[in-house]
Every structure is written in C-alpha cells, then in structure tokens.
Amino acid sequence: MVFVASLARLTEVETTEIKGIGPVTARILAQAGIVSVADLLHHVPHRYLESQGTTIGDAPLGTDITVVGELRTLRDRRPRRNLLIIEGVLSDETGMMTVIWFNQRHILGLQPGTWMSVTGVMERYRGSLQMRARKTHVIGPQPVFNREHQIFGVHSVIGTLKMGNIQAWIRSALRRSQPIEDPVPVEFLASHGLTSRDTAYSDIHFPTTMENAGHARRRLIYDELFRLELALALRKRRRMEESVGIAHDPPGELRGRFLAGLPYSLTAAQERVIDEIRGDLRAPHPMHRLLQGEVGSGKTVVAVAALLDGIEGGWQGAIMAPTEVLADQHFLGVTRLLADAGIAPEPFGDGARVGMSSLFDHGRPVVKVALLTGSTAVANYDHRITRQTLVDDIATGQVDLVVGTHALIQEGLDFHRLGVAVVDEQHRFGVSQRVELREKGAVAEPDLLIMTATPIPRTLSMTLYGDLDVSVLDEMPRGRTPVKTRHLHRAEEGVAWTMVREAAAAGRQCFVVCPLVEESGKVEAVSATAEHERLSAVFADLRVGLIHGQMRPGEKEEVMTGFRAGDVDVLVSTTVIEVGIDVPNATVMVVEDADRFGLSQLHQLRGRVGRGEHPGSCLLIADPGTEEAEQRLTALVGINDGFALAEEDLRIRGQGTVFGTRQSGMRDLVLADILTDLDLLLAARRDAFGLVDADPELTGHPDLVFEIRAILGDEVEWLFVS
C-alpha cells in the first residue's frame, strides 16, 4: 500500500502501518515521541560515517581510513597486568580483517553478527589485514548501507530497538511515501537554492554524497523554520484584522510632566522606545509589543509614559506583576515617580479622598493609583480604602491605574475603560493569562506592553515572540557600573563573609540567596531557613533577616519594607527576590550553591545589587559537579552583557523544544539550530510574512495551512488564541 504522500497526511499514518512494526515496537517508538510515519521520517541521522568508498578488500595500506563490517569472532588476552588486548575479526563481502583494541573492556560485550565501523591505519601482519582501532562505532544489525559511496547515516538507537531495524523501517516508509508533496512555493525554493522535499527526505537518511546530505538538511531546516514563522505571521495578521483597538492620541501633557519631573535624563534607547510605543498607541489596532531591557535599563519609566498617554485620553491602565513583592514595589515606585512629577498624590499621604471625575483638579493633574493583590487593597488617594470599595472604584472609572498580581484577572473584577495594560516579567505568565487581561477591556481591546528583564537572544525572540513587535533597551543609564562577579569554592566562603561584613561596616546592605527554603534529606543544598540561623550567629552584631516564598504575604512585605528602610543589614532569601526588587543601598549579592541555578536566574540575582551610587559585587559559592554547571559559572564571571549571556546560555543548554511537545509527538525544531541557522531563520521569516501579506488567509495555499495545523497542532495556545 502506498501512503497519501503529504507530510500532513503522514502525521495521521501510524507506525504500525510499516512492515515489521507491531504493537510492542510501536509502544517503544511512541515513548521516544515517534507515533506516526511523519515522526519516523524526522528521526534523522545525527552524524554520518564515510569510508571514502573503501571496502576491506580494497583498503589501502598505511592510510587512516574508516571501514564498515560485521563482527565474526572475538577473543581477548592479558599479556601482563593492566593490559587487556581484544582481537576481533571483521568482514564484508570483499574480505576479512583483524581489529585490535587495547583496554576497551566494553568491546567484550559485543556479539558476533554485530555491524560496526572502525577507524585506523590498515596494515598487513603475517599476510593478513590488521587495524588498531582508533575509533569504533557500534551499528547493530546489518545496516542500510550505500556500498557505492560508503556513506552511512548514524541514527540514534531507540530503547531496545536496533539501528539496522530502524533504518529498514525508514527505508520502507520512504518507498511507500514517495513522491512526498511539496507545498512550499517554488519561488522560495529557487531563491534559496533549496532541493525538493522528496529528495531531501531521501538524502537526509541515505545520501549518496556528503554534499547531498548537507543540501537535504538545509532544506528540512528551512521547512521547520518556515512553518513556525508562517504560523506567527498568520496569528499577527488575524489579530490586527479582527481586534478592535484604541487610537490613543492625547496632547501628551501628562507624559511631558512626568518625564520632565525625572531626576535624570532619559537614555537615547528610552527615547527611541517611547517613540516606538507612541506610534503603536496612535494606531487603531491593539499594540502587542515585547519590551526587553537589562535590569536597571529603565523599563518602568517607559511603561509609565505609555500608561499616562492612555490615562490622559480617559482610559485606565494596568500593570500585572508575577508576585506580590514585585507588585508592591511597582505600586510604591510608580506612585513616587508620579508624585515627584506633581501628577499624583504621595503614596499613603494624608488620606484625603480626592473626589473628582476628571484628571484635573484646579488645573493640577492628578492620577489615582491603586494596588490590588491577593492579600492587599490600597490606594494612593485613600489608604483606608476597603477591597470592595476599590473594586467598585475600578469598575466605575474612579481609579486611573491599577497595579496588581493575578488578582487583576480574577472573576468579579471589571474595568470601566481599560486602555493600556503592562505585563511585567512575561515569562512568569502563560498566554491564557495575558488573554484574560486583554479581555478585561470591555469597550475595546487594550494595548499590551509585555516587559522582561530576562534577555532573549534575537534568534529566540523571532521564534518565541515572532508575532510581537520587539523593542530593546540596549543602553544603561550613565554612571551605572557593571557588577563584579567572582566564583568561590565552598572552602573559600570566608572571603564572601568578609566582604559582607566590610559592606555592612560601610553602611551598605547585602543579599544571601539559597536554593531551598527548608533543608532536604534528598538534596544537598543550603536552605534559607538553616542558613539564616547559621549566619545570625556568624554576624551576631548585624541585623540578619529572612524572606522566602512560603511566608505569608504580610510577613514578606514587612521584611522587604524593613530592608528598604535600612533596618536589615543582611537579607537571607530564596529566589523570591529574583526580579524587580530595587534597593539602591544593596551592594553585595552572595549566591550559595550557585551551580543549582540557571544562568538567567543568576544574571537576574546579580542585577539586584549595584543599583545605586556604590558599585556592586556578586559572589557565587559553588563546587560544580558537572561540566555544564562549570560553564554557566564561567560565563557569568566573564560576561556582563545580558544579551551576550543569553546567547551563551542557549549555546550551553541547547534549544530543546522551543514551543513544547505537540500532540503529534514531533518536536518543533528537530534539525534547526536557531543560533547557527540564523540565515535560514531570517529567510524563512521574510518568506512567511511576505506570503501572508500577499495572501492573508492563505486561500491560494491550503496545503500549507493543513500542514501547519497537522505538524504544530490545533491546540497550540500561542497560535490559535487571539
């Protein structure tokens, strides 16, 4: 039987349709994510063995070569202590040879009949061919092998399945699927010099030349990236066409007064991004912009400027933060900035309720700001306000700007006229939560600004957030010095405590961050509670505080208020202080068991110090047990630029599955590497967005739409949720 040969249709053909794959084998394949014939075709070789057309009988002597053959016999001898010599006989259809391994005990576990490749110099000894194996690769049962060109694709073994069997099933799938239809426009293929899809699948698995294997890989990489970018382009186009937005075009008096009241000048990057956002706000369709910026680059000022443009036009604004600690800080920070500019009451002022329906009271602009979290409801215009009164004020438009957590999207909270929404640290929220916040705009869809202090590599932002407009604050305020970072082994931790004591003596404050809240018998890592007890004794003359995520909200706020006020010298914490905490007097960050943190987390923690007039230091205490952990710490010590660090982090960890696992079992990026394949990513993005501009519904390319849905899945939030 011949399969209906389009990639989309092949996602619907189960692997049991292939001869030799029964229910048991299918279950083993499914555990590796291979449930369809399409999945099987994407189980591509991770490398190739090439023996330059050489068989055993034709192998030149004295030359370093690779040959492939079947193991016939195996024996070992031990001429002296600590020396194990293993001799095996390898054969192919042209002859036999002896292979010698030294002190490679695992070779003894191989069974006669196993196929392998060996690399070394062929010699003739006592009339027979012999090779001392420099490199060995075990293949398994007899492989599908191109004898003419001696190129062998090495497919990863799956569970207990043998590589030879896997290759035979792939060969069968290809025979029954060809020709595989190609829905990508021919002009795109021609402009990039890409081979046909049918040829690509054959050549990626069983190439006749290494050049053909390279062409095949390039074509399939393009396909992966083109599908993703096409999906993003479709979503962006649909959102722009279907969403009813707000064309904000106020005189800009509030924004002007706010910026003029700042005690410092904006950076050129802030001015550029504010202009970009103003352009979005004036447009009739909703803004969907991602704002990236290093810790301390001034994202909050940019966000407030956008919110004030909406408020001046009679709309409400909202800032949603992932934690109560960060929401509290945003509320305090924003109200103080607005009070300094003379456009809002002081936070927790005299408590006088400002009773007015407009923004202006006797010519003086007043913006009313409120804080709403799971445990707190306060307002800068009335610190005695009850939660229900605040909810009512939001619903009737008496509140201009609401800062909060997930409480902003809870049922029962309605905005009067939500016009601009800001989501801080977007990676802490799911797509559905951003959708819920947008849906709070009952009159029209609000403009959405998504902020992150976690630098995202350009290549990753084009795939993860390719449907968003992206602004980058790539300039730090003048006078901000980089934090000095140092890695200390556990035996050197005294150096850190000396620096903490010196900083406290100078009137500065310090963080000590631990990976756990409580001690665990299963994990060897410093816990915050135990370390707080220990350091309270070490620094008996200092004020040592403790904060972690399991504390009640009121307790956490009490600790942070004391730390901001300078009543705590050393704050022992978990990563609850990772984002958004702004204490300019904090100059030393000690991270214990730093090898247990991700590189992005460590960079965020480092950004908590050195935010004032005094330089900061970050001390990483760790005895890393893996090469990857060592690489992370080395990178953090040597790199201060967050975007360069994000690129390095991506290189160290690998991209994995960028969007998660689809129902089909296929990963999004099997072949593409968004760091090394940037040229194809850019090409695929241009092609995809150009095609959607020319054919917004892709009515002329139904096969492409079918393929996107089949490969990426109908339930993918980022694609199908507006």
Domain count within the chain = 3
Give the DSSP per-residue string, 520-549: -SSS-S-BHHHHHHHHHHHTTTS-EEEE-T
- Residue 117 sits in the same domain as residue 58: yes
- How would you class 236 by CB atoms within 10 Å of its CB: exposed for 0-12, middle for 13-18, buried for 19 or more? middle
Pick from 400, 414, 413, 430: which is nearest to 322 by CA? Answer: 430
In a domain, residue 262? The reply is yes
In a domain, residue 221? The reply is no
- Residue 494 sits in the same domain as residue 586: yes
Return the pLDDT at 273: 96
Domain that holds residue 494: 484-639
Write down which residue in 142, 160, 179 finishes a domain. 142
- Residue 413 sits in the same domain as residue 282: yes
Are 671 and 227 spatial neighbours (Cβ–Cβ below 8 Å)?
no
Using alpha carbons, list the distances in angstroms from residue 186 to 50, 195, 198, 682, 687.
Answer: 32, 10, 14, 18, 12
In a domain, residue 96? The reply is yes
CATH code, domain carrying 67? 2.40.50.140
- Residue 292 sits in the same domain as residue 425: yes
- Residue 564 sits in the same domain as residue 600: yes
Cross-strand pairs, 372: 377, 404
- Residue 459 sits in the same domain as residue 564: no
Return the pLDDT at 382: 77
- How would you class 647 by CB atoms within 10 Å of its CB: exposed for 0-12, middle for 13-18, buried for 19 or more? buried
**Chain position carrying tokens 């962006």:** 236
- Residue 278 sits in the same domain as residue 397: yes
Low-confidence ranges of the chain (pLDDT < 70): 1-4, 51-53, 140-150, 346-365, 426-435, 441-443, 455, 457-460, 463-466, 477-479, 518-525, 578-581, 653-668, 713-722
Return the pLDDT at 591: 95
In a domain, residue 291? The reply is yes
In a domain, residue 74? The reply is yes
**Chain position carrying tokens 């195996």:** 74
Return the pLDDT at 432: 59
What's CA 400's distance to the chain center, in Å? 34
Return the pLDDT at 225: 92
In a domain, residue 543? The reply is yes
Give the DSSP per-residue string, 424-445: SSGGGS-HHHHHHHHTT-SSSP
Rg over CA atoms, the chain = 31
In a domain, residue 705? The reply is no
CATH code, domain carrying 326? 3.40.50.300
- Residue 459 sits in the same domain as residue 490: no
pLDDT digits (tens, 9 = 90+) for 399-423: 999 999 888 888 788 899 999 999 9
Q: Which residues make Cβ contacts (< 8 Å) with residue 443, sequence separation at least 6?
A: 417, 418
Write down which residue in 126, 142, 158 finishes a domain. 142
- Residue 371 sits in the same domain as residue 409: yes
- How would you class 298 by CB atoms within 10 Å of its CB: exposed for 0-12, middle for 13-18, buried for 19 or more? buried
Return the pLDDT at 211: 92
C-alpha span between 324 and 66 (Å, rounded): 62
Residues shown for the chain: 722
C-alpha span between 381 and 28 (Å, rounded): 64
Write down which residue in 611, 639, 667 finishes a domain. 639
Tokens read off for 596: 């247990």
In a domain, residue 22? The reply is no
